[in-house]
């Protein structure tokens, strides 16, 4: 962990709080319309995709368009809708279906489980080694805070595999974190959900996903079983690669810092903001790119204000950047390829002692 | 059929309801369409005396016509938020049958945040209403009737009086309490008096005419109907008990939590797997909101069922009736449920 320099934490907190308050006061019709529109797009992409997959026998290009369409739907559901709604960004709408309590997404990970680990642990204890179990997902060594092991030598391959199976990685993450299946069980850990419940959720949600994409929809297609089966497989793969890449670029670029537990005890709001600022990185891009990343291309803003509707990150980013500049805090941003290369470099760098 | 679709939707699309899954898409074609609600189109909005609002709505065809005295939950979307409040229908069922319209009379002083939004509704706009609800309807009795109204509590009586056949023989007396110069619908009451030979009314002011006891006591042999603030109702209810008079009532003002025990106890509340320490002095809704938990909030007085959820374990008390729940699994409304034991709510 780097020591904090001359940052005036009180001022930083006050400035960032006022950015948040300003957005909160503006939330309204526009934001509600936006999320509904994204949901409409998701429905349209999903069903055109599913239908096109069945038309591949007429012209294979239709199948390809179907795959892209379904993958787009899955990405929208995962990122701009699921992730953001489950963060409670739209709870203020009071809508029966668009709120963090009831939303469930189209990935293998059970929404309620994700909410607990991700919303609570990851967003509270961002990048505190030993507390935020997101760091490296326990699979990869991404900082010198961890002892080098032989398995780190081939961790780039592990990373690629993780990306391919990302939805299962996210789903398994919580089990791994709680050491449900194997590993040392810590006596002092406060198990909020019994292991049996976690296992049940893991298997039931996972099974439903498998049955849906690889059995039911293909069976509905009758003789075109294989067209639909491979189409779903491809769409899921594209979604997994995309989400994994975006998430790695938001958390594991070269300059992202880690923190130790002692340094973060009794931290003030300003220090908390500061940690969020140094623990994440942004990706530059166009509007469509931001939508497809669920605005996690504004990972810094997301970590500062996880429950503000994500589309608002665009308008506050310049303000946040200016505030960082004033306090001499590094605002980690760059183009997609630059950030991705930085991630790859980090994974490779820590493969070695 | 819809059960099948809902089950498919739940398992394949991860959405509790099939219609809900398509809701944002359907809204593109039918503005204001919402699953589980009826649509109604605004026909007329008028602000009358002291910012009170008259709203005429045209419910969709499928809406089951109300009985005079019943109420609906009205849901509007304002600044992207859905807000729900409960209002008595101030028009007779006949009007709904003939013209397809219903009328609401809304008093702005009591519920400012909501009504100020109502005044900006435009004719032609769509909003949502619930089915007609409530048991506060004309009683099936041979006795004469006393109607006791307080303030905006006049609305169900207007609906009832307008649906009485002209040849009805039963005597009806309306005692209408309001602040000086704020009695509603004086013209309509006068017209009713002209057309109904057996109807009479008194416009009363507490300061001038004394409280309801004076007026009610000589009428112990009649059947009482009361609609108004809790204070008015409580007084009438106590008197009715004393005089052994039949009484029906409706009161919409938020009921304060009345505790059987004034001792403060610490309890545990489990919600979505998270555990909180709470006391027994507030409703579950208040506790969940204080703990920043995601809850869908509605009317806040036990009517709209927006905040309904499944209680897995524990005992709660209904703050309106004081009734204790079972200790087993059942549906409760958070806003009117006060914990009596440790409580576990389902996810």
Is A104 within 8 Å of B28 when comparing Cβ atoms? no
Beta carbons of B275 and A194 less than 8 angstroms apart: no
Give the per-residue pLDDT at B256.
Answer: 42
Is A43 within 8 Å of B21 when comparing Cβ atoms? yes
Quote the CA–CA distance of B148 and B202 in Å, as a whole number.
10
The 10 Å Cβ neighbour count of residue A348 is: 12
User: How many Å is the Cα radius of gyration of chain B?
Assistant: 22
- The mean per-residue pLDDT over the stretch B261-286 comes to 85
Is A95 within 8 Å of B82 when comparing Cβ atoms? yes
Quote the CA–CA distance of B245 and B239 in Å, as a whole number.
8
Q: Which residue's structure tokens are 């009086």? A: B161
Please, what is the angle between helix A29-53 and helix A225-251, to 10°? Answer: 140
Q: With bands split at pLDDT 50, 70 and 90, how would you rate the model's confidence at B258?
A: very low
C-alpha dihedral sign at A251, A256, A259, A265: negative
Q: Which residues of A touch B275 (CB under 8 A)?
A: 192
Tell me the ipTM for this assembly. Answer: 0.89
Q: Which residue's structure tokens are 């009485």? A: B164
As a whole number, the mean pLDDT across chain B is 87
Chain A neighbours among B 37-96 (CB < 8 Å)? 77, 79-83
Q: Which residue's structure tokens are 């709660």? A: B316
Chain A neighbours among B 266-295 (CB < 8 Å)? 272-275, 294-295
Is A91 within 8 Å of B294 when comparing Cβ atoms? yes
Quote the CA–CA distance of B5 and B109 in Å, as a whole number.
45
Q: What is the DSSP string of B127-152?
A: EEE---B-S-S----SS-EEEEEEGG
**CA of B18 vs chain A CAs: smallest distance (Å):** 11
Using the Cβ of B25 and the Cβ atoms of chain A, whether some distance falls under 8 Å is answered with: yes
**CA of A87 vs chain B CAs: smallest distance (Å):** 10
Is B81 within 8 Å of A33 when comparing Cβ atoms? no
Of the partner residues B14, B16, B347, the one whose CB lies closest to the CB of residue A106? B14
Q: Which residues of B touch A91 (CB under 8 A)?
A: 294
Secondary structure element (H or E) that encloses residue A73, with its range: helix A60-76
Secondary structure element (H or E) that encloses residue B175, with its range: strand B172-177
Q: What angle do CA A244, A248, A250 make, to 5 degrees?
A: 120
More confident residue, A349 or A146: A349
Is A192 within 8 Å of B274 when comparing Cβ atoms? yes
Angular region, B48: left φ>0, alpha ψ -120 to 50, beta rest: beta
Task: Give strand pairing partners of A189.
Answer: none
**CA of B307 vs chain A CAs: smallest distance (Å):** 10
Question: How much of chain A exceeds pLDDT 90, in percent?
Answer: 63
Q: Which residue's structure tokens are 């939950």? A: B73
Question: How much of chain A exceeds pLDDT 70, in percent?
Answer: 92
Nearest CA in chain B to A198: B273
| A32-41 confidence digits (pLDDT tens) | 999 999 999 9
Phi and psi (nearest 5°) for A198? -60, -45
Contacts of B88 (CB under 8 A, 6+ apart): B69, B70, B71, B104, B155, B156, B159, B227, B250, B252
Pull the structure tokens for residue A312.
């608002």
Quote the CA–CA distance of B341 and B337 in Å, as a whole number.
11
Q: Distance between the two ends of chain A, CA-based, in angstroms?
A: 18
Beta carbons of B252 and B301 less than 8 angstroms apart: yes
Quote the CA–CA distance of A91 and B304 in Å, as a whole number.
18
Is B23 within 8 Å of A97 when comparing Cβ atoms? yes
Please, what is the angle between helix A60-76 and helix A225-251, to 10°? Answer: 40
DSSP H helices, chain B, are: 2-12, 18-29, 93-99, 112-118, 155-162, 186-195, 206-209, 212-216, 230-243, 284-290
| A178-228 confidence digits (pLDDT tens) | 665 655 555 555 555 677 878 888 898 999 999 999 999 999 999 999 999
Give the per-residue pLDDT at A268.
Answer: 87
Using the Cβ of A105 and the Cβ atoms of chain B, whether some distance falls under 8 Å is answered with: yes
Of the partner residues B36, B273, B298, the one whose CB lies closest to the CB of residue A112? B273
Task: Give strand pairing partners of B47.
Answer: B53
| A233-251 confidence digits (pLDDT tens) | 999 999 999 999 999 999 9
Q: Which residues of A touch B273 (CB under 8 A)?
A: 112, 116, 192-193, 197
Is A212 within 8 Å of B16 when comparing Cβ atoms? no
CA atoms within 13 A on the CB side of B112: 2
Strands B308-313, B71-78: pairing is unpaired
Of the partner residues B24, B83, B306, the one whose CB lies closest to the CB of residue A36? B24
Q: Which residues of B touch A40 (CB under 8 A)?
A: 24-25, 28
Q: Which residues of B touch A100 (CB under 8 A)?
A: 294
Residue B169 scores a pLDDT above 90 = no
Angular region, B169: left φ>0, alpha ψ -120 to 50, beta rest: alpha
Residue B244 scores a pLDDT above 70 = yes
Q: Which residues of A touch B22 (CB under 8 A)?
A: 43
Contacts of A5 (CB under 8 A, 6+ apart): A328
Angular region, A94: left φ>0, alpha ψ -120 to 50, beta rest: left
Beta carbons of B78 and A94 less than 8 angstroms apart: no
Nearest CA in chain A to B275: A192
Quote the CA–CA distance of A310 and A290 in Å, as a whole number.
10
CB burial readout B121-141, b (16+ within 10 A) else e = beeebbbbbbebebebbbeee
Sheet holding B343-345, edge to edge: B274-279, B266-271, B343-345, B308-313, B330-333
Is A93 within 8 Å of B36 when comparing Cβ atoms? no
More confident residue, A284 or B165: A284
Interface test with A, best of B294, B299, B312 (most A CBs within 10 A): B294
Q: Which residues of B touch A50 (CB under 8 A)?
A: none
- The mean per-residue pLDDT over the stretch B255-264 comes to 53
Chain A, chain B: beta-carbon pairs less than 8 Å apart = 82
Q: Which residues of B touch A30 (CB under 8 A)?
A: 80
Secondary structure element (H or E) that encloses residue A208, with its range: helix A195-211
Q: Which residues of A touch B21 (CB under 8 A)?
A: 43
Of the partner residues B15, B21, B296, the one whose CB lies closest to the CB of residue A101? B296
Pull the structure tokens for residue B98.
């003939």
| B108-143 confidence digits (pLDDT tens) | 654 456 777 888 889 999 999 999 988 899 998 889
- The mean per-residue pLDDT over the stretch A92-109 comes to 87
Using the Cβ of B168 and the Cβ atoms of chain A, whether some distance falls under 8 Å is answered with: no
Quote the CA–CA distance of B154 and B105 in Å, as a whole number.
9
| B39-62 confidence digits (pLDDT tens) | 999 999 988 776 788 999 999 999
Using the Cβ of B16 and the Cβ atoms of chain A, whether some distance falls under 8 Å is answered with: yes
Quote the CA–CA distance of A71 and A77 in Å, as a whole number.
10
Give the per-residue pLDDT at A85.
Answer: 93
Is A43 within 8 Å of B24 when comparing Cβ atoms? yes
Using the Cβ of B21 and the Cβ atoms of chain A, whether some distance falls under 8 Å is answered with: yes
Using the Cβ of B297 and the Cβ atoms of chain A, whether some distance falls under 8 Å is answered with: yes
C-alpha dihedral sign at A210, A215, A220, A221: positive
Quote the CA–CA distance of B28 and B153 in Å, as a whole number.
38
Nearest CA in chain B to A101: B294
Quote the CA–CA distance of B253 and A240 in Å, as a whole number.
52
Interface test with B, best of A26, A93, A94 (most B CBs within 10 A): A94
Pull the structure tokens for residue A291.
């939508």
Lowest mean pLDDT among A172-176, A221-225, B261-265: B261-265
């Amino acid at each position: 962990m780097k020591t904090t320099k001359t940052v005036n934490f009180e001022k930083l907190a006050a400035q960032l709080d006022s950015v948040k308050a300003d957005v909160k006061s503006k939330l309204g019709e526009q934001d509600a319309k936006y999320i509904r529109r994204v949901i409409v797009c998701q429905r349209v992409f999903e069903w055109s995709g599913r239908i096109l997959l069945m038309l591949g026998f007429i012209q294979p290009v239709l199948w390809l368009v179907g795959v892209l369409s379904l993958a787009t739907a899955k990405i929208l559901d995962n990122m701009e809708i699921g992730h953001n709604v489950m963060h409670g960004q739209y709870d203020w709408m009071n809508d029966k279906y668009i709120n963090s309590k009831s939303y469930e997404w189209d990935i293998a990970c059970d929404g309620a489980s994700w909410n607990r680990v991700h919303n609570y642990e990851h967003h509270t204890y961002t990048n505190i080694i030993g507390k935020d179990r997101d760091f490296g997902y326990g699979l990869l060594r991404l900082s010198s805070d961890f002892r080098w092991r032989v398995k780190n030598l081939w961790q780039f391959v592990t990373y690629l595999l993780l990306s391919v199976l990302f939805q299962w990685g996210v789903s398994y993450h919580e089990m791994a974190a709680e050491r449900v299946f194997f590993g040392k069980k810590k006596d002092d850990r406060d198990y909020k959900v019994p292991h049996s419940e976690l296992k049940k959720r893991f298997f039931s949600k996972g099974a439903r996903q498998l049955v849906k994409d690889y059995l039911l929809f293909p069976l509905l297609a009758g003789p075109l079983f294989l067209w639909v089966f491979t189409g779903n497989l491809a769409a899921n793969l594209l979604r997994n690669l995309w989400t994994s890449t975006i998430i790695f670029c938001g958390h594991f670029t070269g300059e992202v810092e880690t923190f130790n537990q002692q340094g973060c005890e009794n931290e003030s709001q300003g220090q908390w903001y500061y940690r969020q600022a140094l623990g994440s990185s942004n990706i530059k891009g166009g509007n469509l790119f931001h939508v497809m990343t669920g605005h996690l291309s504004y990972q810094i803003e997301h970590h500062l204000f996880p429950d503000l509707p994500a589309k608002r990150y665009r308008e506050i980013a310049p303000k946040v950047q200016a505030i960082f500049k004033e306090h001499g805090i590094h605002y980690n941003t760059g183009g997609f390829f630059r950030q991705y290369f930085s991630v790859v470099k980090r994974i490779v760098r820590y493969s070695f002692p | 059929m819809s059960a099948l679709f809902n089950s498919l939707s739940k398992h394949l699309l991860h959405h509790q309801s099939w219609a809900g899954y398509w809701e944002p898409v359907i809204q593109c074609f039918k503005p204001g369409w919402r699953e589980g609600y009826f649509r109604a189109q605004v026909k007329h909005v008028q602000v009358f005396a002291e910012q009170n609002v008259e709203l005429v709505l045209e419910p969709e065809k499928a809406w089951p016509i109300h009985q005079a005295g019943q109420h609906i939950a009205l849901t509007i979307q304002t600044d992207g938020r859905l807000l729900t409040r409960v209002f008595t229908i101030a028009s007779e069922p006949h009007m709904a049958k003939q013209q397809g319209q219903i009328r609401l009379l809304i008093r702005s002083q009591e519920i400012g945040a909501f009504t100020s939004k109502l005044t900006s509704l435009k004719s032609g706009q769509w909003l949502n209403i619930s089915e007609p609800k409530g048991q506060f309807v004309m009683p099936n009795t041979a006795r004469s009737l006393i109607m006791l109204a307080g303030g905006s509590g006049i609305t169900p009586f207007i609906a009832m009086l307008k649906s009485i056949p002209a040849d009805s023989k039963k005597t009806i007396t309306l005692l209408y309490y309001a602040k000086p110069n704020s009695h509603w619908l004086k013209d309509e009451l006068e017209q009713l008096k002209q057309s109904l030979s057996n109807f009479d009314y008194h416009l009363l002011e507490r300061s001038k005419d004394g409280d309801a006891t004076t007026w009610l006591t000589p009428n112990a042999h009649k059947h009482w109907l009361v609609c108004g603030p809790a204070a008015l109702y409580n007084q009438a209810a106590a008197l009715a008990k004393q005089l052994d008079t039949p009484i029906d009532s409706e009161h919409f003002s938020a009921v304060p939590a009345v505790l059987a025990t004034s001792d403060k106890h610490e309890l545990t509340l489990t919600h979505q797997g998270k555990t909180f320490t709470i006391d027994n002095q507030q409703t579950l809704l208040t506790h969940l909101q204080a703990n920043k938990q995601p809850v869908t909030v509605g009317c806040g007085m036990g009517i709209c069922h927006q905040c309904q959820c499944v209680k897995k374990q524990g005992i709660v008390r209904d703050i309106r009736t004081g009734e204790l729940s079972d200790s087993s699994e059942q549906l409760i409304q958070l806003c009117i449920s006060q914990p009596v034991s440790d409580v576990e709510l389902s996810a």
